[in-house]
C-alpha cells in the first residue's frame, strides 16, 4: 500500500447537496489537497426508492460550482452490489459470519423482550453457532457478522479522540439481507476498502457506525482507515440546523449571490481555525488545513458572518475574475437573466469599468445586480421614489446647468474631466457640490445611491450620460 492519502465524499443522492454535506466534502477535499492525495466521490445510491438521478446531478453540479472537484469517475455504490455480496459470502467461508434464518415474528419477539427489559433492541445470536445443515429447506437466510461479545471496540478518531463502544452493545448485525442486498453498513466498508480510502472524514452522526464498521474490517483482516468524525452544523441559536437557519442546498447559496470561495472560507471556519485568520483564499486553506485541528464542538451557522465575509472576498478579488464569476452566476440570480440577455461586449467593458465602484457597495452578487442595473436600464429611465425626491424643487434648474457644463467639455470623456466641469459649474453658480451631484446621480441611475457619480458618467459615456440627464430636464 502506498502512503498517499485517499479521502472520499460519499453523499446519498436523495436531495440536493446541502450545506453540511458541502462542508464534509470541503474537509475531504482540503485534506487531500493539503497532503497531495486524492479525493474520490462515491454516490451511495443503494436505497433505490429514495435515490434519484436528479439528486446525483444536483450534487455533482453543487460540487462543481464550489470547485470541489473529485479525482476519477464517481463510483456508484449500487453497481457494486455483486462485490458486496461476494465479501459477505467470503465472511461466511472465513467463519466470521453466518446465515441467520430467524423469521420476522422471531425478530419481533426479540425486540419486544429487549424493550420489556429496557434494553436496546438486539439480535440474540440464535443462529450464530448452529450447524448450517439445520437451515430450513428452501429458506434464504440473511448473513450476520459475528460481532465480539465482550470487551470494547475503540475508535481512534482524529477529531473526537478515543471513543469506546462496549461490545455487548454491538449485536450480530446483518451484512447481507435475505433478498441478497447488502446493508449500508457493509457496503460502505467494502467500498472504502476497495477504493483504497486511507482517511474517512464524515459527519459525527456516523460515529456509532464506525464501531460496527470496524468489526467488518477486522473480520476481513483489512486495515481500518484513519477516522475523523466532524461535528454537525447547528443554527445560530444552537438548535439543529433547519431551513430557517440555512439548511439549504448549495444552489440556494449560489442564488443568494455568494461566491464559491467565500462560502468555502465560511464553511472551513465552521469548526476549524488557523490562528486568528478569518479571511482565507482557497490556496491559504489548502496550505493550512489539517483534519486534526477541527474542533469537536458543534459549529454554529451565522448568515450575517457569511454575508460580511462574502463582501470582503468580493472586494479582494480582482475585477476581471469577479466579472467572470458574476457573468456565470447571472442565470441563477434574481434579475440576473435580464442582464445576461443584454450583455454584449460593450456592456461587459462598462461593467468591468464600473466594478471597482459597484463592489464597494455590494456584499453579494445579488446586490451587484441591483447596483449594476443602471448600466442596463433603457431610456427614459425608471426613477425610484428616493431619486424622484432628489429631482424635485430647484434640482431641475441645477441639472439644466450641469447638462450644459458637461456638454461643453471637450477632449476625453473621463471621470476627472466630468468632475472638473461639475465643480466649476457648482462654484460659479454658488451651489454645494452635493446639490449638483445628487440630482445628477438620480438622472443617470434612477436611484439615490450608486458608485461615485463621476465614475458613473465615465462608465456610461458622453452620449448616454447627456441623454439621460436631458430626459430629466425637458
Residues in binding site: 243
What is the C-alpha radius of gyration for the chain, rounded to an integer number of angstroms?
31
Nearer to ligand GLU, 202 or 468 (CB): 202
Nearer to ligand GLU, 8 or 363 (CB): 8
Taking the complex as a whole, the smallest distance from the CB of residue 389 to ligand GLU amounts, in Å, to: 54
Query: Cβ-count burial of 318 within 10 angstroms (0-12 exposed, 13-18 middle, 19+ buried)?
Result: exposed
The Cα–Cα gap between 73 and 294 comes to 28
Nearer to ligand GLU, 213 or 364 (CB): 213
Taking the complex as a whole, the smallest distance from the CB of residue 369 to ligand GLU amounts, in Å, to: 34
The Cα–Cα gap between 145 and 147 comes to 6
- Alpha-helical (H) ranges within 272-414 are 282-288, 303-316, 319-329, 336-341, 345-360, 365-376, 385-390, 395-407
CA-wise closest residue to 301 among 364, 248, 363: 248
Query: Cβ-count burial of 70 within 10 angstroms (0-12 exposed, 13-18 middle, 19+ buried)?
Result: buried
Q: What is the secondary structure of 427-473 as a DSSP string?
A: HHHT--HHHHHHHHHHHHHSSS--S-HHHHHHHH-HHHHHHHHHHHH
Element holding 217 (H helix, E strand): helix 207-220
Nearer to ligand GLU, 10 or 68 (CB): 10
Question: In this structure, is the dihedral angle defined by the CA atoms of residues 72, 77, 82 and 88, taken in order, positive or negative?
Answer: positive
Q: Residue 376 has which C-alpha cell?
A: 442596463
Q: What are the catalytic residues?
A: 243
Nearer to ligand GLU, 208 or 448 (CB): 208
Taking the complex as a whole, the smallest distance from the CB of residue 205 to ligand GLU amounts, in Å, to: 7
Taking the complex as a whole, the smallest distance from the CB of residue 12 to ligand GLU amounts, in Å, to: 4
- Alpha-helical (H) ranges within 67-171 are 81-93, 104-116
The Cα–Cα gap between 234 and 298 comes to 6
Binding site membership for ATP: which residues? 243
Taking the complex as a whole, the smallest distance from the CB of residue 347 to ligand GLU amounts, in Å, to: 43
Taking the complex as a whole, the smallest distance from the CB of residue 285 to ligand GLU amounts, in Å, to: 21
The Cα–Cα gap between 39 and 24 comes to 12
Nearer to ligand GLU, 187 or 282 (CB): 187
- CB neighbours of 460 closer than 8 A, spacing ≥ 6? 350, 375, 444, 468
The Cα–Cα gap between 228 and 28 comes to 10
In the complex, the residues that contact ligand GLU under the rule CB under 6 A are 10-12, 44, 188, 202, 206
**Residue of minimal Cβ distance to ligand GLU:** 202
Angle at 74 (CA atoms; ends 68, 80), nearest 5 degrees: 150
Amino acid at each position: 500500500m502506498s502512503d498517499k492519502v485517499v479521502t472520499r465524499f460519499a453523499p446519498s443522492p436523495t436531495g440536493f447537496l446541502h450545506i453540511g454535506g458541502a462542508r464534509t466534502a470541503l474537509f475531504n477535499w482540503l485534506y487531500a489537497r493539503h497532503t497531495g492525495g486524492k479525493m474520490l466521490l462515491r454516490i451511495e445510491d443503494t436505497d433505490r426508492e429514495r435515490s434519484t438521478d436528479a439528486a446525483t446531478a444536483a450534487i455533482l453540479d453543487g460540487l462543481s460550482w464550489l470547485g470541489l472537484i473529485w479525482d476519477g469517475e464517481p463510483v456508484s455504490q449500487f453497481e457494486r452490489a455483486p462485490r458486496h455480496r461476494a465479501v459477505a459470502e467470503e465472511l461466511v467461508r472465513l467463519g466470521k459470519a453466518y446465515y441467520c434464518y430467524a423469521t420476522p415474528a422471531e425478530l419481533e419477539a426479540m425486540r419486544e423482550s429487549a424493550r420489556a427489559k429496557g434494553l436496546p433492541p438486539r439480535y440474540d445470536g440464535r443462529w450464530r453457532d448452529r450447524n448450517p445443515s439445520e437451515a430450513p429447506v428452501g429458506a434464504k437466510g440473511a448473513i450476520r457478522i459475528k460481532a465480539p461479545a465482550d470487551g470494547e471496540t475503540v475508535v481512534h478518531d482524529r477529531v473526537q479522540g478515543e471513543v469506546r463502544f462496549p461490545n455487548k452493545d454491538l449485536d450480530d448485525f446483518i451484512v447481507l439481507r435475505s433478498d441478497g442486498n447488502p446493508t449500508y453498513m457493509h457496503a460502505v466498508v467494502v467500498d472504502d476498502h476497495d477504493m483504497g480510502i486511507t482517511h474517512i472524514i464524515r459527519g459525527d452522526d456516523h460515529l456509532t457506525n464506525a464501531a460496527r464498521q470496524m468489526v467488518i474490517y477486522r473480520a476481513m483482516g483489512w486495515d481500518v482507515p484513519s477516522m475523523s468524525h466532524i461535528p454537525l452544523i447547528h443554527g445560530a441559536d444552537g438548535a439543529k440546523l433547519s431551513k430557517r437557519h440555512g439548511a439549504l442546498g448549495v444552489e440556494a447559496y449560489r442564488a443568494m449571490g455568494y461566491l464559491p470561495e467565500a462560502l468555502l472560507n465560511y464553511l472551513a471556519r465552521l469548526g476549524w481555525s488557523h490562528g486568528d485568520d478569518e479571511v482565507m483564499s482557497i490556496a491559504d486553506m489548502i496550505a493550512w488545513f489539517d483534519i486534526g485541528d477541527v474542533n469537536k464542538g458543534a459549529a454554529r451557522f451565522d448568515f450575517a458572518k457569511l454575508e460580511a465575509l462574502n463582501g470582503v472576498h468580493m472586494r479582494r478579488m480582482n475585477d476581471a475574475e469577479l466579472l467572470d464569476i458574476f457573468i456565470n452566476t447571472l442565470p441563477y440570480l434574481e434579475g440576473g437573466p435580464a442582464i445576461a440577455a443584454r450583455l454584449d461586449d460593450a456592456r461587459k467593458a462598462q461593467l468591468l469599468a464600473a466594478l471597482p465602484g459597484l463592489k464597494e457597495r455590494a456584499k453579494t452578487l445579488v446586490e451587484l445586480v441591483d447596483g449594476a442595473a443602471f448600466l442596463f436600464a433603457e431610456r427614459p429611465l425608471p426613477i425610484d421614489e428616493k431619486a424622484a425626491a432628489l429631482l424635485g424643487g430647484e434640482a431641475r434648474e441645477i441639472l439644466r446647468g450641469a447638462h450644459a457644463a458637461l456638454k461643453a467639455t471637450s477632449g476625453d470623456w473621463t471621470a476627472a474631466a466630468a468632475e472638473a466641469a461639475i465643480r466649476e459649474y457648482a462654484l460659479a453658480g454658488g451651489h454645494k457640490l452635493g446639490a449638483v451631484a445628487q440630482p445628477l446621480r438620480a438622472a443617470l441611475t434612477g436611484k439615490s445611491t450608486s458608485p461615485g457619480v463621476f465614475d458613473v458618467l465615465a462608465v456610461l459615456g458622453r452620449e448616454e450620460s447627456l441623454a439621460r440627464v436631458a430626459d430629466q430636464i425637458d
